[in-house]
Amino acid sequence: MAKEQGAWFEQPGRFLDPGLVRELKRLREIGADEENEAVPVIVSFHREAEDSKREEVLNLCRDGSCNTVDGELKLLGGFHGKVRPGTLRELSEREEVRRIYYDREVRAFLDVARKSSGVADVQAQEGLTGKNVTIAVIDTGVYPHDDLMKPDSRIIAFADLVNGREEPYDDQGHGTHCAGDAAGNGYRSEGLYAGPAAEANIVGVKVLDANGSGQLSTVIKGVEWCVENREKYGIRILSLSLGAPAYESYRDDPLAQAAEVAWHHGIVVCAAAGNEGPYPGTISTPGFDPVIITVGAADDRNTVDRADDVKAPYSSRGPTIDLLVKPDVYAPGTHIISLSVPGSPIEEQLPENMVNEHYISLSGTSMATPFCAGVAALLLEANPRLSPNDVKAILMHTAQEMEGDQAGYLDVRPAVSLAKEYRNVQEATLGMKS
């Protein structure tokens, strides 16, 4: 008897990511009208694909009432849009198409923290504040909070890929909190609730909506915008306190690959591990990429003494889907007091977390990630010649051991010291060659 074949999207060799297969299966199970039900997807081409063949694919995706091409994704050599299941089947048979992804949802996941990590000592003794270093916060936006605007405005650019507005804003609150975690100067708290890089510049890139969610393709566009504008605004660091489930290897994940492109263009990429702990194997994308810096959250128990600091139970654990060790470092992420947006959804949802009218306390790897980005800014101020690989190696090498984990807890003082030592070596080497 002949073996019954499964649905076309479950057959091998179709080059569909597991998330897309799952969505197509769901649509079939609920009896959706496949002729009038469009699926949001990302399509990538083989590098050697001819322009004429690419155009044929684009035309195929524009054909019909439910098919649309919404935009190009340069970092992936492809595009995103909404396509009917029948058209997807045709796409999966085209030789020039490398892979088709489900354009799935991405979600958003400092007082004592500054002291326990050594930031306060470095700021006082070394005078480092992240000055002239730009951090791009890819999130829900950035509100012009006084801690970022006074005495001087440090929000030097804003890109809204959700609503297309020009002036900085944050209709959710998460991104502003993250910006403060990295670079708030404590203007409204007399310096008490300041981030590590209190003089760093901020670029806000809004990719998530008022609900704290967005599409994979929009986040990729945000990374792409930062790569294209890195020299214009001096962007040295990306902070990504967001993620989506990882279904397959980082080699085939579009957001992980976009993050790698940014890294290889000289930008330090810090990404949240996720908040699905303590279960193993819960690192999300793009944090599961081995190239970038993946940040887990520590709980400093609200004390300056590091001896009682532990991994936060909610912080996602490795190994990754590729069986790699992650996260790379831990940073303070529990009960972090940072900037609040007046009347934001976060204030309405968590009124008990408000700390006067200007600040709010939040926990998560979302808070640990920009904190790490702020520390990276201190290293780049101490030694502007550091590459992303240098920054990652220094942070990991100097991190304090955490029991039961290969990743350590950020220790800023030895990290800055090593960055400065390396600068002396670099300058001596350059001097010998000149």
CB hemisphere CA count around 60 (13 angstroms): 20
| Spatial CB neighbours of 55, under 8 Å, sequence gap ≥ 6 | none
In angstroms, rounded to a whole number, what is the distance separating the alpha carbons of residues 382 and 129? 10
Structure-block tokens of residue 164: 């297309």
Active-site position among 170, 253, 366, 390? 366
Pick the catalytic residue from 174, 177, 335, 358.
Answer: 174
DSSP 3-state of 87: helix
The residue from 17, 103, 111, 139 that is catalytic is: 139
Let me know: does 274 contact 286? Beta carbons within 8 Å. no
Nearest to 407 by CA among 392, 422, 420, 425: 392
261 dihedral zone (left: phi>0; alpha: psi -120 to 50; beta):
alpha
In the residue annotation, 139 being an active-site residue is answered as: yes
Judge whether 366 counts as a catalytic residue.
yes
Q: How far is CA 425 from CA 43, 377, 430, in A?
A: 45, 20, 9
* Secondary structure (DSSP) of 242-280: EEB---S-GGG-HHHHHHHHHHHTT-EEEEE--S-TTSS
Q: Collect all residues with Cβ–Cβ distance below 8 Å to 23 and sequence separation of at least 6.
A: 39, 102, 104
Q: Is 405 an active-site residue?
A: no
Residue 122 CB neighbours (<10 A)? 23
Please, what sign has the CA dihedral across residues 133, 139, 141, 143? negative
**For 190, left (φ over 0), alpha (ψ -120 to 50), or beta?**
left
Positions marked active-site: 139, 174, 366
